């Protein structure tokens, strides 16, 4: 008999909360035993989790199911507001996935955006926004990672998103990790609007940091965007309209009946539990690992998401 | 009119060689102008490219097309030899993709490996190999990157593969970047054989470095392994045999008729041209980039591959 499950699971947890009653004592005991990520999650308290704000949560309904996106209002408030305006107008309904470039991004929007006679009206939304590539780091919550970074002075997490900051410039920004969502723009800095969005589906393209407005993160349903057929045109754009996956609808969670909402909780990134989770990934205690890395890159830290109660999914 | 192609292309070049006649003077001129990656490639000389050894190149034929894998014989000679033995016995023909875990790996092998009564015979191949997780860095070619790394003392490229080394231990090893292929193992270090292989399809899982034998790299056809439906079982394993993509065949390029070979060239990683390519990615001169990163992670450096002459693909 030969080994079968030869690599350890690396899963963004999507478990049903079972009303576990972990105590501080339990957490301490787990820490003493170098807990695995799963043990950290199992020992977490209700206060270690947060419910994303329905006013900042998008449901993109695709033929294969629902993608849930949390908007990063602390980093891109103008883009978030414009995207909300577009969504309330049902702007994205019937638009399509335009581009899937292997090891880079999946991108969606109006396939006729370049043709003024056919482009969909953006209605009350702005067609061009100021750049929101970074913000002041002052007074911004920031849970710093211990291991440094190739690209930024400091990396960590802020408001549940992977982020970077630099005391020399006083700026903070979101890092382009897997699942991060950004707003496309042309060559001019002020040329994005949020009407065309992309999500990272490969190795973190950190060279995009500080060059584009990062507006949110996919918290559920990444596989619906990452496993699409790659486009065969330049940059992974689809060459035929028939290849473009249609978007059924995009809605704000707040505008969806409570019974149809995805009942998700996201692990907070500013708690001792999250610090313990990071440590469980820096030094894997799973039996399989012979040599724990002792380090971690910001884009390798999972942010657990769980489904609570009776969920639509 | 709104911007459409809003993100620059990030493409592993697969261009037909046109017998260009770049000179050193041309390369110098390009360098002075901060060339883009495409300009570096356009100015490259024939000697900047190498043809992968047909004895170290695998063709995995899937229903969607051919995946080309180059074996890393300098790092995992025993695994490479065992895989060659398996391939010559047509071991992989009719086996399947077993697992696709989003943002981690696609893995293939014998779905019956755990059942001694049904498992396919490995014939002349060894069922267990010594660990080949690292090797001596002595006398190993190594093109070091200038920007450091979170996980390793030094990173760069060796024999065309992304690699790391550490003068404190005298060891070198391959880094788990997108497209890297490894040999699954059980919890015991000496439990892999090359009969079950995986490829990285997401953010580089560098925690696997030094824990498993990395045996090669997909040099063409990654999209055929990265865009597969994710498995719904634990760790992304498929739960039903009907979900498992069948492998039509795996052959050594040397055993395929010359007319059916993929005529690929891979950019050498030990030349001034490659150094210029790295610089073109550290500091993008494309019009779109407003703030070049000035740095690069080893797993963000593309290794260009091109098709020459009349190719099967």
Quick: pLDDT tens for A85-135: 999 999 999 999 999 999 999 999 999 998 989 999 999 999 999 999 999
* CA B220/CA B42 separation, integer angstroms: 20
B6 to A110: CB separation less than 8 angstroms, yes or no: no
A300 to B207: CB separation less than 8 angstroms, yes or no: yes
Residue in A212, A226, A230 closest to B102 by CB:
A226
Query: Does residue A227 belong to the interface with chain B, where contact is any CB pair within 8 Å?
Result: yes
Q: Write out chain B residues lying below 8 Å of A133, CB-based.
A: 290-291
B206 to A6: CB separation less than 8 angstroms, yes or no: no
CA A174 to chain centre: 10
Nearest to B135 by CA among B174, B191, B182: B174
A284 to B191: CB separation less than 8 angstroms, yes or no: no
Q: Which residues pair with A220 in a beta bridge?
A: A68
Q: pLDDT digit string (tens) for B57-80?
A: 999 999 999 999 999 999 999 999
Q: Write out chain A residues lying below 8 Å of B12, CB-based.
A: 103
A7 to B103: CB separation less than 8 angstroms, yes or no: no
Q: pLDDT digit string (tens) for A169-184?
A: 999 999 999 999 999 9
* CA B7/CA B284 separation, integer angstroms: 13
Count residue pairs from A and B with Cβ separation < 8 A: 230
What is the ipTM, given to two decimal places? 0.90
Query: Does residue B177 belong to the interface with chain A, where contact is any CB pair within 8 Å?
Result: yes
Nearest to B86 by CA among B62, B61, B109, B116: B109
* CA B45/CA B235 separation, integer angstroms: 44
Alpha helices, DSSP H, located in A122-271: 222-226
Query: Does residue A145 belong to the interface with chain B, where contact is any CB pair within 8 Å?
Result: no
Angle at B102 between CA A53 and CA A193, to 5 degrees: 45
Q: pLDDT digit string (tens) for B97-119?
A: 999 999 999 999 999 998 989 99
Residue in B127, B235, B288 closest to A187 by CB:
B288
Can you give the pLDDT at residue A202?
A: 98
Both tokens assigned to B62: 């899937």
Using DSSP, state whether A83 is helix, strand or coil.
Answer: helix
Q: Which residues pair with A136 in a beta bridge?
A: A171
Both tokens assigned to A259: 């019974």
Both tokens assigned to A292: 């724990």
* CA B255/CA B134 separation, integer angstroms: 29
Q: Which residues pair with A16 in a beta bridge?
A: A307
* CA A211/CA A220 separation, integer angstroms: 26
Q: pLDDT digit string (tens) for B1-54?
A: 344 445 554 433 333 222 223 334 444 444 457 999 999 999 999 999 999 999
Q: Report the gap between the CA of A169 and the closest CA in chain B (Å).
A: 14
Q: Write out chain B residues lying below 8 Å of A205, CB-based.
A: 10, 300
- pLDDT band of A309, cuts 50, 70, 90: confident
Q: Please identify among residues 31-90 of chain A the ones whose CB lies closer than 8 Å to any CB of chain B.
A: none
Nearest to A72 by CA among A201, A185, A172: A172
B211 to A290: CB separation less than 8 angstroms, yes or no: yes
Q: Report the gap between the CA of B308 and the closest CA in chain A (Å).
A: 19
**Which of A1, A6, A14 is the best residue to mutate to test the B interface, defined by the most B CB atoms within 10 Å of its own CB?**
A6
**Which of B1, B5, B6 is the best residue to mutate to test the A interface, defined by the most A CB atoms within 10 Å of its own CB?**
B6
């Amino acid at each position: 008999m030969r080994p079968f499950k030869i690599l350890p699971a690396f899963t963004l947890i999507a478990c049903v909360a079972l009303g576990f009653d972990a105590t501080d004592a339990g957490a301490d005991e787990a820490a003493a035993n170098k807990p695995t990520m799963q043990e950290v999650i199992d020992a977490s308290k209700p206060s270690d989790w947060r419910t994303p704000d329905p006013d900042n949560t998008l449901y993109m309904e695709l033929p294969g199911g629902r993608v849930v996106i949390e908007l990063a209002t602390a980093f891109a408030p103008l883009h978030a507001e414009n995207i909300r305006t577009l969504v309330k107008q049902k702007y994205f309904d019937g638009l399509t996935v335009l581009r899937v470039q292997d090891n880079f991004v999946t991108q969606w929007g109006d396939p006729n955006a370049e043709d003024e006679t056919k482009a969909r009206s953006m209605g009350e939304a702005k067609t061009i926004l100021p750049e929101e590539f970074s913000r002041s780091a002052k007074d911004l919550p920031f849970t710093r990672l211990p291991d440094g970074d190739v690209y930024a002075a400091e990396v960590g997490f802020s408001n549940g998103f992977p982020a970077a900051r630099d005391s020399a410039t006083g700026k903070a920004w979101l890092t382009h990790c897997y699942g991060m969502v950004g707003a496309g723009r042309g060559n001019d800095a002020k040329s994005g609007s949020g009407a065309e969005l992309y999500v990272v589906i490969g190795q973190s393209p950190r060279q995009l940091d500080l060059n584009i407005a990062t507006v949110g993160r996919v918290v559920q349903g990444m596989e619906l965007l990452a496993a699409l057929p790659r486009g065969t045109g330049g940059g992974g754009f689809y060459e035929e309209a028939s290849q473009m996956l249609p978007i059924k609808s995009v809605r704000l969670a707040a505008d969806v009946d409570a019974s149809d909402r995805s009942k998700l909780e996201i692990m907070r990134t500013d708690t001792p539990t999250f610090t313990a989770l990071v440590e469980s990934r820096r030094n894997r205690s799973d039996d399989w690992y012979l040599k724990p890395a002792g380090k971690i890159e910001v884009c390798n830290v999972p942010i657990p998401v769980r489904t609570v109660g009776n969920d639509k999914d």
